[in-house]
Structure 1
Amino acid sequence: MMTAHLTSTHGVTGAQAGIWYGQELIGTSSTYVVAQAWECLAPVELSALASSVAGAIGEAPGLSASFGMVGGEVVQSVGRHEVDTVAVLDFSGHDDPRAAAWDWMRRRSREPVDPATDPCFEAVVLRLAAGTGGQSPAIVFVRAHHIVTDFFGLGLLGRRAAELYAATTSDTEPRPAWFGPVEDVLDHENHYRDSGDREGDRTFWAGEVLAADAVASLVRHAGRERTSSVLSHTRTIGGTAADHLTELGREQGGSWSDAVTGLVAAFIAGRTGTDEVVLGYPMMNRLGSPAISVPTMVVNVVPLRLTVSAWSSVTDVTEAAVHGVRRVRPHARFRGEDIARLGGHGRPRIWLNVKAVDDRLRLGDVDTEVHSLARGPVEEMTITIRRTLCGEIEFQFDGDESVLDATGLAVLGADIVAYVEEAAQPAARGWRWPGWAAPAPRRRPDRPVPCPVRRLWSTNSAGRLPGSPVASR
């Protein structure tokens, strides 16, 4: 178990430095809190679960860090807080234990964390049923300041906890601890900062930002006063449509994530009347790095430029996404904060975070669904997309409350999901797809948009109705 007095001081990753300065800028806020719920879909051994989660946390010292400034540089003091004590909270006495647990987790996810003074990580097991035995349906709640881990790091932690739980409940030895040290990640980043690779990446991004059109926005920003409040809305599309997206991506040499990226970009192009869309695109930056096995924060958000007219075909926009992501991926180690300093139109306001990696867990013989409760900072809107345990695709829309109200976010989310679901149908492959023609959703209740959202379908020379193929350009 970690103890509060065994500390060591290190530098930080570029991602951690960016978050430190972002938190300093906005002050006390839960903007940089990330949280997940690991929902066990069958009864589990509670004591074994709590000890397994605690064991996994204890193998990841970076989660125990606090942060501060020394000599003008951001540093982390690893081991400052004891975070590997996992309590079991009993919700079984509530009329609806699961609903009560979710309400508690949502409220806890909105509580701010100060990375200078507060523990930056916590985990709690929530018991959902009474009984004399040690088994119960349960949820593992994990909450962190984004400065100590990204969602890939949380996935590593979940995998290790699952390994320890399986070993404990089967009375076998787990494989040896396999998390790498934070120091290796820092050494790897320091080597990059001093290398010619970084200069080459700088040259690439300088060309990108100078060539880019203005960043896309789906709402009005005149007179905007930024807040730290985030509204959320969730929608899903069924397994059949998800399979169609997988097929569409494969046909263009990519995956379902490329297909959905292209279609979301096409929607934005149609809504804004532009032929180029610049999205904020998170890159995990772990392949080929020691960070592949370290729960820490290294994710980077880079601008993804896609030339996708709203009148492009479904295959056109998917192909554009495949090539666009491949174009920027080799240069994704150059920090997004540094890219913004190169000029251009600033950081993208719309972020698209497609989680192509499956984040499901299995605790022994129990399937566990991973739910995202808080996803970190939002510029204007962040769309987080993932495959669920039952094969659906989930869209989570997070909007900055200073520019979107709850109704506007829900309408916008419904429009995007309907567009993606319809465009994914096999019959749509060669069609030319118009966007959704309407002004941006309402900015605030006192600034209404006068005309309703409406779908504009094109007709060809034969006057075909909506749903008929449109002649190629």
Structure 2
Amino acid sequence: MTKNEGEFIELMGGQLGIWYAQQLAPENRSFFLAEYIEIHGPVDHALLLRAAELRIRETETVRLRLKTVDGTPVQYLHDAADYPVQAVDLSGERDPRAAARAWMDADLRTPAELDGGALHNAAIITLDEELHYWYIRVHHLVFDGQSGVVAAARGAEIYAALLEGRDPAEGALAPFSVLHEDDRAYRTSAQYEQDRLYWLDRLAGHPALDGGDAYKSRRAQHAPLRHTDGIDTDAADSLKHGARRLRTSFPGLMIAAAALYQHRVSGEQEITVGLPVRARGDRHTLTVPGMTSNILPLRLSIGPRTTVEDLVRQTSHAVREGMKHQRYRYRDMLGDLKITDGDLCGLHINVMAFDYDLRFGTCPTVTHNLSTGPVDNLRIDIYDRGGMQINIDANPDAHDLDAAAALSRHYLNVATWLAHAEPTALAAHADLLDEGERGRVLVEWNDTAAERVPGSLVDLFEA
């Protein structure tokens, strides 16, 4: 070991899944997560840089590096001095926003070095005196969505402390060892075995066990294609009102809509959608950045007589019961079922019903996601921010942007129908098509009228 290397420790369960997935797709750059916080106003540039540097020093997980020892991946904590924050000034560019996006996109294409390389990069990008981007890129091996929420909030706290002359060490994040020890304890606990048995029972007889083509794995070798859409505040409020009317939450409604969409496009009555979850042991671990996120396979049944009320209740129950067993790894579920080249979920749905709502001093912010990880088939990411933003990420080896756009459009149609449907309405009657598409199907494609040619059949031959 060099003087910058700390003690070698094993990878956590969630990290192992990401490590194996990256080995199968070494050229896939989307294993990096990335976002930027757009800061408006007269922020103190020097303090912002200092806050970014202090956050790196404090957030141990972003300084983790990997080595492979005797065929087994291990990790160690690296020296914070080797993680400088880049100061990028693009204020002189003709179009600073476009230049900043091009810079971030280029950085996001950086290859992952899983043998001793840095897994994190950060930059403060200046577009003009009153517009800055705080950009981060970090490998999914050491970071997840919950980590992003915690780190963003902590960055704003550190900046505020520096601005007000307070000690920025107050409220420091707990060390990575807290999360690591909690994961190790779980994997040797009685709860681990209870969770394993729960999922074995819940997934017994799943159609994927028959090895049908619909459940074959499509391991993504490239970054996903992304289609971005959205609806305004009024439309988003209408969906939320519909959720309350159906006695469910906004995420519950959107998850049910994803299952219903899958039923409508596939015709299958057995539907399984993937739901990303934090997979943390308690509230204390929620504030420790690191990679623990997992996938819950929500198994639902939607038949000809299933009502809207049935679907919503079934979805709520599946989520509620699954969350009690959320720490058992999805990869281990597949192993227990002896599925070596398949998947349980064709469609994944992630509803982020929160907003960072960060301020740097008096300066408001807007957060933009650039990458949420690899996608082997299709994923819907919903952000409840000033209306509703929807990102459709699609495996480019199986889908194109037109398919992603169609999914977005049809999914929103189904969600809107569900929000306004009577509880007793049949779920199978959900509207998939919009007015334009319905007109083409029912009118244009059925416009088979043809000019009648006078005369008999004999006359036509003699002519």
TM interval, shorter chain, is: 0.7 to 0.9
Residue in 1 that maps onto 2:148: 154
> After superposition, where does 1:47-86 map in structure 2 within 5 Å?
47-79=46-78, 82=81, 84-86=83-85
Distance change in 2, residues 1:223/1:422 (3 Å): closer
Residue in 2 that maps onto 1:275: 269
Q: Measure how far apart 1:273 and its partner are.
A: 0.7
Higher relative contact order at CA 8 Å, sep ≥6: structure 1 or structure 2? 2
CA-atom RMSD in angstroms? 3.0
Distance change in 2, residues 1:221/1:283 (3 Å): closer
Residue in 1 that maps onto 2:361: 364
The letter for the 1-side match of 2:390 is F
Q: Measure how far apart 1:82 and its partner are.
A: 4.1
| Residues 1:383 and 2:380 aligned together | yes
CA distance in 1, matches of 2:304, 2:258: 10
Distance change in 2, residues 1:239/1:157 (3 Å): same
Q: Measure how far apart 1:252 and its partner are.
A: 4.8
| Residues 1:318 and 2:315 aligned together | no
TM (norm. structure 2) is 0.85
CA distance in 2, matches of 1:57, 1:428: 51
| Residues 1:397 and 2:392 aligned together | yes
Q: Measure how far apart 1:76 and its partner are.
A: 0.6
Distance change in 2, residues 1:455/1:387 (3 Å): farther
Q: How many residues align?
A: 433
Q: Measure how far apart 1:8 and its partner are.
A: 2.8
Q: Measure how far apart 1:231 and its partner are.
A: 0.6
Q: Measure how far apart 1:108 and its partner are.
A: 2.1
2:374 is paired with a residue whose SS is coil
> After superposition, where does 1:30-429 map in structure 2 within 5 Å?
30-79=29-78, 82=81, 84-129=83-128, 135-174=129-168, 176-214=170-208, 227-286=221-280, 288=282, 290-309=284-303, 312-343=306-337, 346-388=343-385, 390=386, 392-425=387-420
Residue in 1 that maps onto 2:451: none
1:385 is paired with a residue whose SS is strand
2:298 is paired with a residue whose SS is strand
Moved more, 100-109 or 135-144: 100-109
Greater share of helix residues, 1 or 2? 2
Q: Is the 1:120–1:145 Cα contact (8 Å) retained in structure 2?
A: yes
Give CA-to-partner distance per residue, 1:424-461, whole Å, 9 cap, x none: 24x655543424679xxxxxxxxxxxxx9659999xxx
Q: Is the 1:262–1:317 Cα contact (8 Å) retained in structure 2?
A: yes
Q: Measure how far apart 1:308 and its partner are.
A: 3.4
CA distance in 2, matches of 1:191, 1:141: 34
The letter for the 2-side match of 1:117 is G
Distance change in 2, residues 1:252/1:86 (3 Å): same
CA distance in 1, matches of 2:171, 2:68: 31
Q: Is the 1:350–1:382 Cα contact (8 Å) retained in structure 2?
A: yes
1:47 is paired with a residue whose SS is helix
User: Structure 2: any 5+ residue segments left out of the alignment?
Assistant: 443-463
Q: Measure how far apart 1:316 and its partner are.
A: 3.6
Q: Measure how far apart 1:248 and its partner are.
A: 3.4
CA distance in 2, matches of 1:289, 1:351: 25
Residue in 2 that maps onto 1:462: none
Give CA-to-partner distance per residue, 1:72-114, whole Å, 9 cap, x none: 4321111156454212211111112112212221232233222
CA distance in 2, matches of 1:207, 1:189: 24
Looking at CA atoms only, which structure, 1 or 2, has the larger radius of gyration?
Answer: 2
Give CA-to-partner distance per residue, 1:36-64, whole Å, 9 cap, x none: 01111333211111111221121012211
Q: Measure how far apart 1:353 and its partner are.
A: 1.5
Distance change in 2, residues 1:455/1:337 (3 Å): farther
Q: Is the 1:66–1:81 Cα contact (8 Å) retained in structure 2?
A: no
CA distance in 2, matches of 1:224, 1:295: 30
Moved more, 299-308 or 261-270: 299-308
The letter for the 1-side match of 2:135 is F
Percentage identity across aligned positions? 26
Q: Measure how far apart 1:290 and its partner are.
A: 4.4
Q: Is the 1:436–1:454 Cα contact (8 Å) retained in structure 2?
A: no
Residue in 1 that maps onto 2:458: none
CA distance in 1, matches of 2:151, 2:425: 44
Q: Is the 2:413–2:432 Cα contact (8 Å) retained in structure 1?
A: no
CA distance in 2, matches of 1:163, 1:254: 34
Residue in 1 that maps onto 2:449: none
Give CA-to-partner distance per residue, 1:106-127, whole Å, 9 cap, x none: 2322332222232101110110
Residue in 1 that maps onto 2:456: none
CA distance in 2, matches of 1:202, 1:221: 22
The letter for the 2-side match of 1:398 is D
Residue in 2 that maps onto 1:463: none
CA distance in 1, matches of 2:232, 2:55: 34
Q: Is the 1:261–1:352 Cα contact (8 Å) retained in structure 2?
A: yes
CA distance in 2, matches of 1:453, 1:309: 25
The letter for the 2-side match of 1:351 is H
2:390 is paired with a residue whose SS is strand
1:279 is paired with a residue whose SS is strand
1:210 is paired with a residue whose SS is coil
CA distance in 2, matches of 1:404, 1:243: 31
Residue in 2 that maps onto 1:8: 7
Distance change in 2, residues 1:6/1:214 (3 Å): closer
> After superposition, where does 1:15-34 map in structure 2 within 5 Å?
15-34=14-33
Q: Is the 2:208–2:344 Cα contact (8 Å) retained in structure 1?
A: no
User: Structure 1: any 5+ residue segments left out of the alignment?
Assistant: 130-134, 439-451, 459-473
Q: Is the 1:32–1:145 Cα contact (8 Å) retained in structure 2?
A: yes
Q: Is the 1:180–1:290 Cα contact (8 Å) retained in structure 2?
A: no
